Chain A
Amino acid sequence: MAQLDSLGKVLSADILIVGGGISGLTAAITAKETDPSLDVLLVDKAVASKGYAGMAGRTAGLLSFVTGEDDPEDFVTYNLKEIGCYLNDQVLLRDMAHCSRRITEQLATWGVEILHNEKGKIDYAKWPFPWGTAAIDPDMCLNMSDHAKKLGVRFMDHIAVVDLLKQGERVIGAVGFEVQNGEFHIFKCSTVILANGSQNYDITLLWCGTGNGLATAWRAGAEMRNAEFGCMCDFARVDPKGWLYYGVHGGAHIAHDHLQNAKGENVSEKYRPGLHSSMDPVAANAWLQEFKLGNAPISVDASIFSHPAFFKFHPKALDQMHREAVKANFPMGQPYQVVPGFIGELGCVRVNHQMATTVPGLFAVGNVAGSGSARGGAVPTPPAKIHGTGILNALFMGSKGGPAAALHAKTVKSFGPGADLDPAQVQALKTRILAPMERQGSLTAHELIH
């Protein structure tokens, strides 16, 4: 151990969770619930111990779930036919359909608020999808991290995990560094859960996963799946200066079903009637055809936001979106012009029904393995871009992976003290990871991308 100590700070745990967004916190809580005797350590490059890490706090706070009045089979059928092009893992999809209500109701015991109606039942909209969409507190991770701490989960903030340590095929630890002071960290653990998000960096603001979890898994030899579905298109708002705004800043997420041309005609109805989960080539083609006919500009009928059946948002989510909209010069209440744009989100670590990757001891939950789980079929992460499924996906995968990882860690522990880490392996990784610090005059990430 003396040699290891000289390479960095050495820590140990039974389960190391990388990433403290919704999926990592769910995995931490459910692993502890499965076996409270296990030492669960959650690290995040942001501040997960206070619930500020991950995309949760920046969401629109819409949670999809199969309600008591829905048939879970309808959810499965809709996902197969309308979203996943029949390429879904139907066993996993059905599992999610059947346990989504339990997961949703369980959130109250973790201190997470979902808006209820005057009858004391979860308030949900049954529109535009044939299941329920409820308003959830976007600060849910604050409550979840408090709950995790009460269960005994340990947290370390500002730690970026870069690579895994292996003995043969098996994971026996991980290495990374403190993002503020660069201190190298070495973790000894039999079980690692990657919960560190997808790759969509610098495409759409707020969707800002750097994909380093995918790279970690890839370098450890994990199989990838469905990477080809990591890209999709979405409409973007274009303002008079020609600047494009995507996602929440663009207000264009629902554009695909509500397009109108310069003559005031409903373009969506003409080319792709009905309500749809997301934009597809038919919707992009509708825009193009109208453009060619000289019917541009194509805009979104903003009255959709005041439709009585439109989703209700949690007041905190509304406040958040309002702040972002103001910053992005959103023309409140006005029609706004849109163009087909690009949005991509890759989460292709292959996992089985227990969220185990193909590397023994390595699990992956949430966005990092969203499309790799094949639950959503031919769609990007989180499967799919239907309002409210990102949170459900993170909760579902976390609550599958946490208990499975706990069983794995417990089994390995029963065989005695884990494998010793190899200082030579750690040294080699440390040299590679810290190499950019030694280089002179290299490019920044932004320069490399643009």
Chain B
Amino acid sequence: MHSLKLNEEACTRCRKCVDTCFVNALKWDTSIPKGAPVLAYPADCQICCYCEKLCPTQALEIIPDWASKYIPRTLSNAKGW
């Protein structure tokens, strides 16, 4: 599934990435001391790259997993294919 790679040092904890996500796939993880963005709903991520683009320090990267998406998986599950 799609994932998020965070450069801990570069992240300023501004939370802009969470605000910019139009499908609420990103959440702010409060379980670690400084907090961090987390791709809480990876299946909802649209690979729009908006969070990456607007991060003021280029601290995050969205890594798509195309194998988890789209027809091949569905077709391989379907009968007759």
Interface residues in chain A, defined as those with a beta carbon under 8 Å from any beta carbon in chain B: 45-47, 50, 52-55, 57-58, 158, 179-180, 205-206, 208, 236, 241-246, 249, 319-320, 323-324, 327-329, 341, 444, 446, 450
Contact = CB atoms under 8 A, between A and B. Distances in A.
Nearest to A50: B19
A323 B62 CA distance: 11
B38 interface: no
30 contacts: A46-B21, A47-B19, A50-B19, A52-B19, A52-B50, A53-B22, A57-B22, A57-B48, A57-B50, A58-B22, A58-B48, A58-B50, A179-B24, A205-B46, A205-B48, A206-B46, A206-B48, A241-B67, A241-B72, A243-B69, A243-B70, A243-B72, A245-B66, A323-B53, A324-B48, A324-B49, A327-B49, A328-B47, A341-B71, A450-B74
B19 A244 contact: no
A324 B69 CA distance: 15
A33 B69 CA distance: 44
Looking at A243, A329, A341, the one whose CB has the most chain B CB atoms below 10 A away is A243
A320 B43 CA distance: 21
B20 interface: yes
A319 B47 contact: no
Nearest to A248: B48
A97 B7 CA distance: 50
Contacts of B23: 46, 208
B22 A244 contact: no
Q: Which 6 A-B pairs have the closest CB atoms?
A: A323-B49, A244-B71, A47-B19, A52-B20, A58-B48, A46-B22
A323 B60 CA distance: 14
B36 to A, nearest CB: 16
Given A245-B70, A328-B47, A450 B22 contact: no
Nearest to B53: A323
A45 B24 contact: yes
A385 B10 CA distance: 41
Contacts of B69: 205, 243
Contacts of A328: 47, 64, 66
Nearest to A58: B48
A140 to B, nearest CB: 14
Contact of B53 (A50, A244, A245, A319): A319
